[in-house]
Structure 1
Amino acid sequence: MVMRAVYMHQNAFDDWEATARIVVEAAARAGEQHGEAEALETLGKAAFQTLRLDEAEEHHRASLALRRRIGDRRGMAVSVNALGLLGLRRRRLDEARAHFGDGVEIFRELGDRRWTALVRSNLAETLCELGQGAEARTLIEQVLADFRQLGDRACEGNALCLLSWAQRTSDEPEAAARSIRAALSIADDENNQVWQGHWGTEAARVERALGNPEEALRLCQKSAAVQQKLGDASREAAALDGAGEAYQSLGRFEEAAELHRRAAQTYRRLGSRWQLGRAQAHLADALTSLGDHEAARAARGEALHLLGSFDDPRAIALTEKVARCLSDDGT
């Protein structure tokens, strides 16, 4: 699978997937189970990147079964990590946490420092999603030291972005600002637009927390433009939704509503229920400020329906907030 990294870098998912299918069939005919498992993993990654999540799970579970059969412990850990990423993407956070914990243990037993740190980073992201910023921060500080010693700039930057998230949600916006600026410095040094676009959205959230909506808006607009160029619709929508929040902080509610609508349209097309629910909640806030209470109630009603299907602490808190606003609307 030499071409996998090339296809991933260029987002050439059709070629990437076609190549993997050929390898799966050839390896199965030859009885080469290691190669078949790796090709199935590649198919799982291709399906994940194009948001065909059920298909991705099928491929990763098939790869895991093969690796268990042949006693490939390292391969098993890679597959378990992939299943954790699926749980994270679907917001099945307890499931994701369990998979990442298993992966960490296997890689640690194998003495693979880089992979242990990588899966710990994924575990830390899950903890951030669960609202457990303090626990996440402790874990991130450990992996950050590992990535620096390993000289892995990409993972170092991603860990700094996660550290910013944990600090921001722990009411430490100044510390978060230092962390995300360090991450963006890495992105700038490497002239890497993917990193600049992704980490720029977190930088915008930090600026909003610091009370700087103008700078937050600039960063979101820059991130959205980068993501549009890269063809990453989900991350572009996240930047647009963030820009809408910045517009709301500036009292520019019509512009905010338009961006929240655009983000919601993308999330609806992608089937991203959690993100769509949040965008609709943000839209409802903007519409309320515009005095369009009927449309606000409709947006909140959809948000409540979407968010109610998640049971983690952050989701429950947001669902309760939306329900209170809906009640205040007189419904």
Structure 2
Amino acid sequence: MKVEVPVPRQLPRDVSGFVGRAAELAELDALLHDDDGTDGSASVVVLAGTAGVGKTSLAVRLAHRISGSFPHGQLFVNLRGYDTGPSLAPAAVLGRFLGALGIPAPAIPVGLEERAELYRSLLAGKQVLVVLDNAATVGQVRPLLPGTAGCLTVVTSRHRLSGLAVRDGARRITLGMLSAQESTDLIAAATRGYRTGDDPDQIAELARLCARLPLALRIAAERAATHPLLALPELTAQLRDESTLWEALSSPDEEEADAVRTVFAWSYRTLPPPAARLFRLLGLHPGPDFSVHAAAALTEQEPRRAHGLLDLLAGAHLVESTSADRYQFHDLLRAYATDQAHQEETLEDQYTALKRLANWYLRTADAACGAAQSFDASILPQGQTGPASALTFDGQQDAFTWHQSEQANLLAVVQAAAQAELDEIAWQLPAALHGIHMARGVFDDWQAMAGLGLEAAQRLGDRRAQALMHNTLGIAAKDSRQLAQAAEHHEAALELRTLVGDQAGVAESANGLGLVHLWRHELTAGRTRLEQALALYQQHGPRHWTGVVLCGLGFTAAALGEPHEAARFAHQALAVYRETGADHSLHIDALQLLARLAREAGDYAQAEEYLGDALALQEHSSFVTIDAALRLEQATLHRAQSRHDQALETYWACETLQRSIGNRTGQAHAYDGIGQTMRALGRLQEAIDFHTMAARILRDPPQPWDLAQTVTHLADAHADNDQPEQARHHRTEALTLLAPFPDPQAAALRRRLQQLIAE
């Protein structure tokens, strides 16, 4: 399976009525093109300048002008380096960019380095334009730079970011204020068709009071356009009065910032009271943008009314519309709105507004998770009503689309709830999102939110909530192959659930531990825990979870060399799933196990039938981890049938998926399978190379069981390549690795290795 790379088109709309900056655009054109018109050498350009000077507008205008030179797409992100909340971390940005480049959310690697490697690999040989807006530090930018020529990165910042020039060859253009003529041209363009007869000197005075900064100029011009009967001298007199007020509160070296704040205040004071209140309360929203429904919840209004007020604010350039029902602040306006909220709203009113907002996110997240999957029940009390503006969803994709649009906000809301001592919401929100996090594999946010939730539950002294957070952290760690951490969290959850007498919870934790043991090839311990879980689920439910445990027992029996017992467990699991109408994704594991058992028995036709059923179900599932496992089994079946070309193609598809989700163990399994296929084809040196790559991965961190299999295959390839000493060395290493494992499969492999060494 080939991962198709789409063409992202993320540029915001070009700036309406863009005026000036002809010199800067000419300088940029010279940087980006040689004298003969061919592409120049600049691959990173920094647009630096004070707040409100128009860096973003120029970057967007430039990007639209040159987008045709970048046929493989344009990426854009606001790094929020100067926002009142936390800036956007490079790992989070790479997660977004990888998604835009075709990597499914569950398939995005966990670590920053792995994400950056995949990002650079996807852009290699491509021509992509990357716009990084509002960068505060070099550290925010450097991981986001493409690794090869052909791409261009445009960075905007209030700082010079000298490190990019020194190390990365960035070219910098510093923006000053608009010229007097450009400033008056901007006001004239924005008011054209609304006003006539304004004195050019009065327009120039208005521009001077705005410090010739585009952000302030646009707000002032909008005010003038919407009051066409008000003489310009009167408008400038009002602005001058505001300016006098700010000057009394400011220091002399803050002239530009004072001018911007003056224009903000001038515009804010003319808003109708409901719009002014919405504006300042939006300053309490902790995320980077906000939907109409979130704004409605924040202000306790009907969504239609909130939408109208948001459009009014957008018309006054106090917020910016980013789509049909989403808006965002300029970072200076966000700071101003927050300041107004602190000044004009009581602490109690601010707390109540934030609580309404957090509760809206909680209720909507719970509805989304219910639409996305059916194996995890709601954690919220039944019959409890939520806010009127809480959303409903038409199926999994609708829920996933909402989660993707709100992903950054959700983490910010949990952080804000924890800071505001809304501890119940701070653990309930990550708990409500567990099913979506598991389906989409967004490990960064999953673990960060659950970690905050655990701290909140600990502050409350709520043992059940603590256990729930340990459980979700355990599953996140297991799915991202952090098995030691997974075991610690499941043990902690098991202890807490035992203390409170939560038998269904004990079953869940025992199952989680059993699967961790299975993945470590600790088969006896795994079987014991899974049998404990099965007994408890049979008594306490829910019924469909007995199928999950039966499937785990089936994989354990297969690893112990008990194929008939494994098949019995798999069929029992499928019967439970059919009986309970369980989620499609649960059926797939059991079918995959049956395909493996049929393959190992030499019944390839039956194996293909089971795999076909599993792949058909996978079309309705969003679990990339399951897809990768299916591809690995499919490739192994092709190899067993001596269909080597198909095997190689499918192993590579598996490797791509495993690498993209950061599953290094799965990636090693794919390399090992490629090595075995190469050996079957007689391409022995290539086989040795791939087995060596797999072994390197499995040594860091050490994974003894998987590494023993791989070095055994490596030894066999060396032996076929007439390299007996290397073969003996690796067989001896494999024997050492197998020492801790007492199961029949390990014993049989030890006997084979000992016999080969003795020959």
TM range (shorter): over 0.9
Paired residue type of 2:519: R
1:104 equivalent in alignment to 2:534? yes
Structure 1 stretches of 5 or more lacking a match?
A: none
Q: 2: distance between equivalents of 1:225 and 1:145?
A: 33
For the Cα contact (< 8 Å) 1:308–1:316, is it kept in 2? no
1:39 is matched with: 469
Change (3 A) 1:311 1:278: same
1:256 equivalent in alignment to 2:687? yes
Deviation at 1:172, TM superposition (A): 2.5
2:203 is matched with: none
- The farther-off stretch of 218-227 and 252-261 is 218-227
For the Cα contact (< 8 Å) 2:738–2:746, is it kept in 1? yes
Q: 2: distance between equivalents of 1:156 and 1:52?
A: 25
2:507 is matched with: 77
Secondary structure of 2:669 counterpart: helix
- The farther-off stretch of 10-19 and 171-180 is 10-19
Of 644, 657, 667, the residue aligned with 1:236 is 667
Q: 2: distance between equivalents of 1:122 and 1:141?
A: 12
Deviations 1:132-155 (A, max 9, x none): 111111111121233244152111
2:706 is matched with: 275
1:196 equivalent in alignment to 2:627? yes
- The farther-off stretch of 149-158 and 185-194 is 185-194
For the Cα contact (< 8 Å) 2:585–2:623, is it kept in 1? no
1:59 is matched with: 489
Secondary structure of 2:514 counterpart: helix
- The farther-off stretch of 248-257 and 192-201 is 192-201
1:309 is matched with: 740
Secondary structure of 1:269 counterpart: coil
1:22 equivalent in alignment to 2:455? no
Where does 1:156-305 land on structure 2 (aligned, <5 Å)? 156-188=587-619, 190=621, 193-305=624-736
Q: 1: distance between equivalents of 2:662 and 2:485?
A: 22
Paired residue type of 1:65: E
Deviation at 1:85, TM superposition (A): 1.1
Q: 2: distance between equivalents of 1:311 and 1:201?
A: 26
1:125 equivalent in alignment to 2:549? no
Change (3 A) 1:219 1:6: same
Secondary structure of 1:270 counterpart: coil
Deviation at 1:116, TM superposition (A): 0.5
1:134 is matched with: 564
Deviations 1:246-285 (A, max 9, x none): 1111111111111111111111113211111111010111
Greater share of strand: 2
Deviations 1:30-70 (A, max 9, x none): 12111011112223233334444333323222211111111
Paired residue type of 1:219: T
1:90 is matched with: 520
Higher-Rg member (1/2): 2
Greater share of helix: 1
Paired residue type of 2:522: R
Paired residue type of 1:141: H
For the Cα contact (< 8 Å) 2:439–2:623, is it kept in 1? no
Deviation at 1:6, TM superposition (A): 4.1
For the Cα contact (< 8 Å) 1:57–1:83, is it kept in 2? yes
Which structure is higher in RCO with an 8 Å CA cutoff and minimum separation 6? Answer: 2
Using structure 1 for the length normalisation, give the TM-score: 0.92
For the Cα contact (< 8 Å) 1:184–1:200, is it kept in 2? no
1:145 equivalent in alignment to 2:575? yes
- The farther-off stretch of 262-271 and 187-196 is 187-196
Q: 2: distance between equivalents of 1:228 and 1:84?
A: 26
Q: 2: distance between equivalents of 1:101 and 1:191?
A: 29
Paired residue type of 2:453: V
Q: 1: distance between equivalents of 2:587 and 2:614?
A: 8
Q: 1: distance between equivalents of 2:624 and 2:643?
A: 24
Secondary structure of 2:432 counterpart: coil
Paired residue type of 1:88: L
Q: 1: distance between equivalents of 2:526 and 2:727?
A: 34
Q: How many pairs align?
A: 328
- The farther-off stretch of 48-57 and 253-262 is 48-57
1:318 is matched with: 749
Deviation at 1:9, TM superposition (A): 4.2
Deviations 1:295-322 (A, max 9, x none): 2222111111112221111111112112
Deviation at 1:82, TM superposition (A): 0.9
Change (3 A) 1:296 1:189: same
Paired residue type of 2:455: E
Deviation at 1:25, TM superposition (A): 2.4
Deviation at 1:104, TM superposition (A): 1.0
Q: 1: distance between equivalents of 2:445 and 2:627?
A: 26
2:423 is matched with: none
Change (3 A) 1:214 1:289: same
For the Cα contact (< 8 Å) 1:133–1:167, is it kept in 2? no
For the Cα contact (< 8 Å) 1:44–1:60, is it kept in 2? yes
Q: 2: distance between equivalents of 1:145 and 1:4?
A: 26
Secondary structure of 2:453 counterpart: helix
Q: 2: distance between equivalents of 1:9 and 1:141?
A: 24
For the Cα contact (< 8 Å) 1:234–1:266, is it kept in 2? yes
Structure 2 stretches of 5 or more lacking a match?
A: 1-430
For the Cα contact (< 8 Å) 1:278–1:303, is it kept in 2? yes
For the Cα contact (< 8 Å) 2:634–2:650, is it kept in 1? yes
For the Cα contact (< 8 Å) 2:504–2:541, is it kept in 1? no
Identity of aligned residues (%): 33
Deviation at 1:290, TM superposition (A): 1.1
Deviation at 1:11, TM superposition (A): 3.9
Q: 2: distance between equivalents of 1:300 and 1:271?
A: 17
Change (3 A) 1:245 1:49: same
